Structure 1
Amino acid sequence: MILRSFASFIFALAATSVITSAATAAEKPNIVFIFADDMCFDTIANFGHPEIQTPHLDALARRGTTFTHAYNMGSWSGAVCVASRTMLNSGRYVWNANAIHKTSENERQQGRWWSELMKSAGYRTYMTGKWHCAASAEKSFDVARDIRPGMPKDTRDGYNRPAPDGSDPWSPSDPKFGGYWQGGTHWSKVVANHAEDFLQEAASQEDPFFMYLAFNAPHDPRQSPQEYVDRYPSDSVAVPKNFQPFYPYAESIGCGKGLRDERLGPFPRTEHAVQVHRGEYYALITHMDDQIGRILKAVEASGKSDNTWIFFTADHGLAVGQHGLFGKQNMYDHSVRVPFIAVGPGVKANAKIDQPIYLQDVMPTTLELAGTAKPDFVEFHSVLPILAGQPGTLEEVYGCYLNLQRSIRTDKYKLIVYPKAKTVRLFDIKKDPLEMHDLAGEAAMQPTVKDLFTRLQALQKSMNDDLVLEL
């Protein structure tokens, strides 16, 4: 047994050295990081979604390895993307990121920021799209263009729709509503335009490049050209199996009528409204997918694709009608779990890894590829050892939202705790991946509830989470 374990270790170590060999070579690998916003883990056709059209992301997944269980920890605010992106760029777990997010410009100036670390490793850095961090984007990157706010400007017509009688003042393709159309060119197209420009410039540069390409899509207002909207007629869009007209704990967990995201759809939720919103969600994803196709083509045209790593993920997911919710401020997989694709030299093609990771693990992964030591303050972990065949180390996935929700997820169960509602929910995620059947009230499951609750408290301590939970 000991010899077998030692042999496995040596094999994994050798495999890791193959994948990371470029970091010690004269020419460091280029890195293209493509980031979506509000994109649920399953909204890629290659992952088994029966309706959505994502041919370019499908092709990317076939070229590399997909981590099927990538997570965001949660948020200290309703703007979950701020927390996710601060974690991503600072390398810190959620509550430690919260402690520094308002002063992250100081962190950047002191070199404790993803882009600054990549600069120190010899990379020329490029950025376009959504930022939503307190640190200066323009100063964070060597080249930064069209830095966008947290979301395109919304309008009252985009909320509480469609009405029960079917009337709807909103049109996702009409430029008069502004939003993604503000400025005359759809924001997703702008990201691709700049990416093409960056890659043309990078083709003639000797320095390795790090590109941070952040789409606002598919965040609301979910707007795309009519030809994309027409691909998803609402009456043909499936209603999620875990649809509910109301979520019974919505108000006590901060996901009620006072939350902006939740006001997009009418109360009570209707199947038709969910179909309309999901169709527009899919349309915006498909439009973004076409822009990603342009970026991938530009990588090939640069002549540097053989030594370029590509990562695709999102800052968090979105409910869009699941469990009676529309937003991402909850602990269900549709809102905390995201797609995560890695493509690069030595990465196994058309492969999937079920080992859980945090999406922010991409940050130390790129540091390892760049051949720079991970700083002590970076708490997330490189996924290169897992890509090389080593077992992952994350056994419990932590989740939080304000002081209103906590969760712990193992390979079999998820426990969700609602402190204000004095309620816990337990799901067997192997048998019930849509999290529809709450087991917390069953007498036979009480030992599991207590065990997971104790483990969650231990996780809280390791996360510097000072919320006191009581069972």
Structure 2
Amino acid sequence: MNKILNLICSSLMVLSVTAQNEKPNFLFVFADDMSLDTIGAMQRYNCKTPHLDKLMASGASFNRAYNMGAWGGAVCVASRAMLNSGLFVNKAQKGINEFPHWSEIMKENGYKTYMTGKWHVPGQPRFDVVRDARGGMPKGSGYNRPKDMDDYLNGWKPWDKAQGGFWSGGTHWSEVVGNHGVDFINEAAKDDKPFFMYIAFNATHDPRQAPKEFIDMYPLDSIEVPKSYLSNYPYDEEMGCNPVGLRDERLMPSPRTEFAVKVHRQEYFALATHMDREIGRIFDALEKSGMKDNTYVIFTADHGLSVGHHGLVGKQNMYDHSMQVPFFIAGPGIKAEQEFNIPIYLQDAMATTLDLAKIAKPKHVQFNSVMPLIEGTKKVQYAPIYGKYTHTQRMIQDGDFKLIVYPTIKVSRLYNTAKDPLEMKDLAKNPEYAAKIQELTGKLKKLMKDMNDDMDLDNPKPVKNNKKKKSKKKKA
């Protein structure tokens, strides 16, 4: 009788482990300041990202993934608060402190959670395993450079470890994240629990430091200046992007020069390629672990970056180079080589994992899973798309048209992004588009209301940031 009972118990244990292992794993890889320009497979510029190209080809790519914007200059803070809370931009600043984080939801549903890299979210990371969690950015950026060739040859160098920055600690931070990512996968392979990994690189944020071999991959004479290049943006101060006041904009001399833009883009691409190598190491570890066939991989970034487009350097604007990011997902049941031009928000990553893990989406989560789009049961995710930056900018993308509004100076800019993807031809002063501007302005006002945006577009006043309040977390 005891032998029979032991046999039954053993069988039940095997069934339990098998059922548990049927839950999919999730590897979420997150970059910083990485625009769609940097993905080699997009063939926009000569940036090399072979491992991300391979990921893109192996599953579904969303080529119109947006960040909603931000309430302050550190756009990454707002983006990450939205990502980890599941809340839209005008609720995330408070909600990140009030609701369970993405990792906690996964943990409560049987997942072992791992995190390394950039956090930049209020409070400590809420994961089972955390290694080398870092804040916003290290000190070590070179500002107001290069002024000329002499300054370039004799000044700040991205491979100079004495400058600190990503070299602080002796090992480049991208390599630290790569090392931990590989270690996490090896640890997870020995655990019966399914895993959720949050691998967050500080790259491609400045300081744009990489080993010299990666800089050498991009000779300056091979770097293309963006077609939308300007020496200065005409409304930079009014839109909150003062070239001598906003930190990001101070990285490059003002007025901008083609030479300075080439140098910054050289370093930007080199850092992206260096990070891609580390991502490749993580993907290789997943392949060798035997867990790849039951793992969904999602790659995206918190926002894009200008690096010379429109006379801008940073991400505090409503142009696609700063609002759009890569968004790739691959894994069980997702067909290869799918590309979607359906607008989504990058923060849909959270809801997508919940959907794939068959976890009920908490009521407070506002973003949506991309799986219905992939499966063809849904054709539209969000219409129209909303964007904001402090009280100085608002945006609506509706179909082929984008309207950018600078409320404090009563200026609007209109672009047909289907015909003019680089957003170089402002149609706002063309009388033929007066009705379109009026239509989009009305839609923007309604969208702002729907988004809990309490700014009066006609009579704007600076909106105070929500003060952080200690409060009890609400249950999901």
- How does the TM-score come out when normalised to structure 2? 0.90
Structure 2 partner of 1:441: 429
Query: Deviation of residue 220 (structure 1)?
Result: 0.2
Structure 2 partner of 1:10: none
Number of residues of Structure 1 aligned to a counterpart in Structure 2: 438
- Higher gyration radius (CA): 2
Q: Deviations over 1:387-425 (max 9, x none)?
A: 111212312110000000000002200000001121000
Query: Deviation of residue 127 (structure 1)?
Result: 0.2
Query: Deviation of residue 235 (structure 1)?
Result: 2.5
Whether the aligned pair in 2 keeps the contact of 1:83 and 1:98 (CA below 8 Å) is yes
Whether the aligned pair in 1 keeps the contact of 2:174 and 2:278 (CA below 8 Å) is yes
Structure 1 partner of 2:358: 371
Alignment of 1:51-450 (within 5 A): 51-101=46-96, 104=97, 106-107=98-99, 112-137=100-125, 140-155=126-141, 158-164=142-148, 166-168=150-152, 169-256=155-242, 257-390=244-377, 391-450=379-438
Q: Deviations over 1:3-41 (max 9, x none)?
A: xxxxxxxxxxxxxxxxxxxxx986110000000000012
Query: Deviation of residue 165 (structure 1)?
Result: 5.4
Q: Deviations over 1:302-346 (max 9, x none)?
A: 111100000000000000000000000000000000000000111
**One-letter code aligned to 2:287:** E
Q: Helix, strand or coil for the counterpart of 2:405?
A: strand
Match of 1:458 among 425, 446, 458: 446
**One-letter code aligned to 1:141:** F
Structure 2 partner of 1:13: none
Q: Deviations over 1:217-265 (max 9, x none)?
A: 0000000000000011222200000000010100011101200000000
Structure 1 partner of 2:462: none
Q: Deviations over 1:50-105 (max 9, x none)?
A: 4111111111111111001000000001000000000000000000012334xx2x
Larger deviation: 69-78 or 385-394? 385-394
Q: Helix, strand or coil for the counterpart of 1:282?
A: helix
Inter-partner Cα distance in structure 2 for 1:181 and 1:403: 36
Inter-partner Cα distance in structure 1 for 2:31 and 2:95: 24
Larger deviation: 164-173 or 48-57? 164-173
Whether the aligned pair in 2 keeps the contact of 1:71 and 1:338 (CA below 8 Å) is yes
- How does the TM-score come out when normalised to structure 1? 0.91
Query: Deviation of residue 279 (structure 1)?
Result: 0.3
Aligned-pair Cα RMSD in Å: 1.4
Note the residue ranges of structure 2 that are not aligned, 5 or more in a row: 1-18, 460-476
Q: Deviations over 1:150-203 (max 9, x none)?
A: 112124xx0000013541311000100000000000000001100111111101
Larger deviation: 48-57 or 373-382? 48-57
Inter-partner Cα distance in structure 1 for 2:201 and 2:399: 31
**One-letter code aligned to 2:307:** V
